[in-house]
């Protein structure tokens, strides 16, 4: 049977994906600096082999034949998703994939070194090479998929979403936030005038911060028999579902920065660890796009991790692992602190979407050829001045060099962050409607019912449905940004 042939072939492809994922995680966390060039060569070669196997012409024949076989509903869904994934994969020749992988890895390696030196001039040639390849990729994909070039890139991360649909939503949110940020800051200032914020004492030993993060990961549901926590330049979740590698970065002056990074990446990891194992080698068994993935990480970081009820349980954890006693009145001004800042990953949930909207607008112009990589510092500075009243003109390290995404060639990914925040707020609202005691559960350190709802409605469904269908099935309605703005008003308004 052709379906059986596909099943066997996909298991071999999964093995290559496993190797690439673990090599990539190791490269970002443990590889010696001198190993970079050979690691890039090895991974580009493996990526070429993987691409050749995943785009083999016989797969198209097997798909066509399998469509005529007697398949159950789950197998039919698996075949539909494989056909969609195969069409997207066959847009690119193996030679291009190898060339792009090598350029991306070398650019990312340079970024790690040159960002610390604030060396935009040294970094620019490598970034220009990546942008040129991204434009080439976008054109190749657009020709096959019949999409706008930038939409063809978004399709790789969040199938079904289109820039023309995202832009007006982001424009409306931007308008709301440009008014709401000053309001939230004014409310915060008024509260702090009545009760000044207790400073973070520090220094906080990294090993103690790590212990705190591990304790919270385990409580929320992370399976340490299938994952681990490391350190990297930029927090990420990598590896494979049976061996999830998450990372954070530590500041000895601020334990909340690393902890929130851990909670965010744990949200990603829980999604991966709870995907249906029997379909792990099929596209059906993968996570349903990056907006949904970001909704899972932001659900843990924002809806749980910044929920006052969570901190009723978490305060004794701080005392145990950091040796400091905090009250709710003392910790919440830190957890809910709003501040215009330069760094996206350190941004609060009020200002964070403005960082994402800026990147969405810039990369849309980069891919479309309306903006050159060399002009990014000026364009970035203009956006930051408009949205957050901050300047980065002489500080590219905290401007267009701050994220790993563009050096790694991940264009079309950024919209997922804010779409995910909206979806997370909507999921929390639906969960609370079904389980009114969710806040009480958090306060008592009971995370099982919350995880069960997410497992049933999101994790176990994998890629069976499109993102809009999956969200509507889980929450009972289509994407509704009102849940997100209501959440911000309730937590940060007067």
Residue 420: which residues within 8 A CB-CB, separation 6 or more?
290, 291, 292, 293, 294, 295, 296, 297, 298
The side-by-side arrangement of strands in the sheet containing 237-240 is: 227-231, 243-248, 237-240
Same domain, 182 and 281: yes
pLDDT above 80 (res 393): yes
User: Residue 480: which region, alpha, beta or left (left: phi > 0; alpha: psi -120 to 50)?
Assistant: beta
> Among 32, 52, 71, where does a domain finish?
71
Q: How much of the chain, in percent, has pLDDT values that exceed 90?
A: 91
Same domain, 321 and 423: yes
Indicate the pLDDT class of residue 97, thresholds 50, 70 and 90.
confident
Same domain, 67 and 176: no
Same domain, 296 and 415: yes
CB 62 within 8 A of CB 5: yes
DSSP letter, residue 251:
B
DSSP string over 47-80: HHHHHHHHT-HHHHHHHHHHTTS---HHHHHHHH
Domain that holds residue 55: 1-71
Same domain, 294 and 408: yes
Question: How far apart (Å, rounded) are the C-alpha atoms in residues 124 and 126?
Answer: 5
Same domain, 50 and 191: no
Residue 154 domain-assigned? no
CA 60, 65, 67, 71 torsion: positive or negative?
negative
Catalytic residue among 265, 349, 361, 363: 265
What is the per-residue pLDDT across 460-469, written as a single tens digit (0 to 9) for each?
999 999 888 9
What is the per-residue pLDDT across 243-281, written as a single tens digit (0 to 9) for each?
999 999 999 999 999 999 999 999 999 999 999 999 999
What is the per-residue pLDDT across 334-383, written as a single tens digit (0 to 9) for each?
999 999 999 998 889 999 999 999 999 999 999 999 999 999 999 999 99
Residue 338 domain-assigned? yes
The residue written with tokens 């909670």 in the block is 263
User: Going by DSSP bridges, is the β-strand pair 243-248/237-240 parallel, antiparallel, or unpaired?
Assistant: antiparallel
Question: How far apart (Å, rounded) are the C-alpha atoms in residues 236 and 252?
Answer: 20
What is the per-residue pLDDT across 292-324, written as a single tens digit (0 to 9) for each?
999 999 999 999 999 999 999 999 999 999 999
CB 316 within 8 A of CB 324: no
Q: How much of the chain, in percent, has pLDDT values that exceed 70?
A: 100
In this prediction, residue 320 carries a pLDDT of: 97
265 a catalytic residue = yes
- Over range 142-153, report the average pLDDT: 96
pLDDT above 80 (res 442): yes
Question: How far apart (Å, rounded) are the C-alpha atoms in residues 45 and 101?
Answer: 9
Distances from the Cα of 490 to the Cα of 108, 184, 338, 447, angstroms: 40, 11, 14, 23
Same domain, 61 and 199: no
Distances from the Cα of 251 to the Cα of 141, 326, 348, angstroms: 41, 19, 17
> Among 42, 71, 100, where does a domain finish?
71
Of the candidates 89, 117, 69, the one whose C-alpha atom is nearest the C-alpha of residue 401 is 117
Residue 142 domain-assigned? no
Least confident interval from 46-50, 432-436, 437-441, 442-446: 46-50
- Over range 196-205, report the average pLDDT: 92
Residue 54 domain-assigned? yes
What is the per-residue pLDDT across 10-22, written as a single tens digit (0 to 9) for each?
999 999 999 999 9
Q: Please count the structural domains in the chain.
A: 2
> Among 44, 71, 98, where does a domain finish?
71
Residue numbering of the annotated binding site for Zn(2+): 264, 268, 294
Same domain, 58 and 167: no
Same domain, 312 and 423: yes
Mean pLDDT value across the chain = 95
Residue numbering of the annotated binding site: 264, 268, 294
Backbone angles phi, psi at 350, to 5 degrees: -80, -45
Residue 107 domain-assigned? no
Q: Count Cβ neighbours within 10 Å for each residue of 28-65 and write b for 16 or more, e otherwise.
A: bbebeeeebeebbebbbebbbbbbebbbeeebeebbee
Task: Say which residue, 88 or 242, is predicted with more confidence.
Answer: 242
Indicate the pLDDT class of residue 494, thresholds 50, 70 and 90.
low
Same domain, 315 and 209: yes
Residue 151 domain-assigned? no
Question: How far apart (Å, rounded) are the C-alpha atoms in residues 241 and 456?
Answer: 18
Distances from the Cα of 75 to the Cα of 7, 80, 279, angstroms: 10, 9, 10
């Amino acid at each position: 049977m052709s379906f059986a042939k596909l099943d066997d072939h996909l298991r071999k492809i999964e093995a290559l994906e496993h190797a690439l994922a673990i090599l990539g995680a190791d490269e970002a966390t443990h590889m010696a600096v001198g190993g970079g060039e050979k690691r890039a060569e090895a991974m580009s070669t493996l990526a070429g082999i993987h691409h050749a196997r995943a785009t083999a012409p016989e797969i198209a024949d097997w798909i066509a034949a399998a469509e005529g076989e007697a398949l159950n509903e789950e197998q039919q869904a698996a075949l539909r998703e494989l056909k969609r994934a195969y069409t997207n994969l066959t847009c690119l020749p193996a030679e291009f994939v190898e060339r792009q992988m090598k350029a991306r890895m070398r650019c990312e390696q340079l970024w790690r070194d040159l960002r610390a030196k604030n060396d935009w001039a040294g970094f620019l040639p490598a970034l220009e090479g990546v942008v040129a390849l991204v434009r080439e990729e976008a054109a190749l994909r657009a020709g096959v998929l019949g999409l706008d070039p930038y939409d063809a890139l978004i399709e790789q991360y969040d199938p079904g979403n289109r820039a023309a649909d995202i832009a007006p939503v982001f424009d409306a949110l931007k308008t709301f936030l440009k008014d709401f940020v000053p309001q939230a800051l004014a409310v915060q200032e008024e509260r702090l005038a009545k009760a000044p914020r207790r400073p973070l004492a520090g220094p906080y030993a990294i090993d103690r911060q790590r212990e705190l993060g591990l304790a919270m990961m385990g409580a929320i549901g992370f399976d340490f028999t299938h994952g681990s926590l490391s350190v990297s330049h930029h927090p990420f979740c990598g590896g494979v579902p049976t061996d999830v590698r998450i990372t954070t970065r530590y500041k000895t002056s601020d334990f909340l920065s690393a902890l929130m990074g851990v909670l965010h990446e744990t949200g990603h990891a829980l999604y991966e660890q709870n995907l249906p194992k029997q379909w792990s080698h099929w596209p059906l068994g993968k996570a349903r796009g990056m907006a949904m993935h970001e909704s899972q990480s932001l659900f843990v970081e924002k809806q749980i991790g910044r929920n006052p009820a969570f901190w009723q349980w978490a305060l004794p954890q701080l005392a145990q692992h950091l040796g400091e006693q905090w009250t709710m009145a003392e910790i919440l001004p830190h957890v809910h602190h709003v501040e215009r800042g330069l760094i996206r990953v350190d941004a609060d949930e009020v200002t964070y979407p403005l960082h994402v909207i800026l990147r969405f607008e810039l990369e849309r112009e980069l891919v479309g050829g309306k903006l050159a990589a060399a002009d990014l510092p000026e364009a970035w500075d203009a956006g930051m001045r408009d949205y957050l009243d901050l300047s980065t003109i002489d500080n590219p390290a905290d401007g267009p060099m701050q994220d790993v995404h563009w050096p790694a060639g991940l264009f079309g990914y950024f919209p997922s962050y804010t779409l995910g925040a909206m979806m997370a707020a909507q999921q929390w609202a639906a969960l609370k409607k079904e389980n009114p005691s969710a806040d009480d559960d958090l306060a008592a350190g009971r995370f099982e019912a919350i995880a069960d709802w997410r497992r049933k409605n999101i994790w176990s469904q994998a890629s069976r449905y499109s993102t809009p269908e999956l969200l509507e099935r889980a929450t009972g309605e289509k994407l509704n940004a009102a849940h997100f703005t209501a959440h911000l008003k309730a937590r940060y308004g007067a």
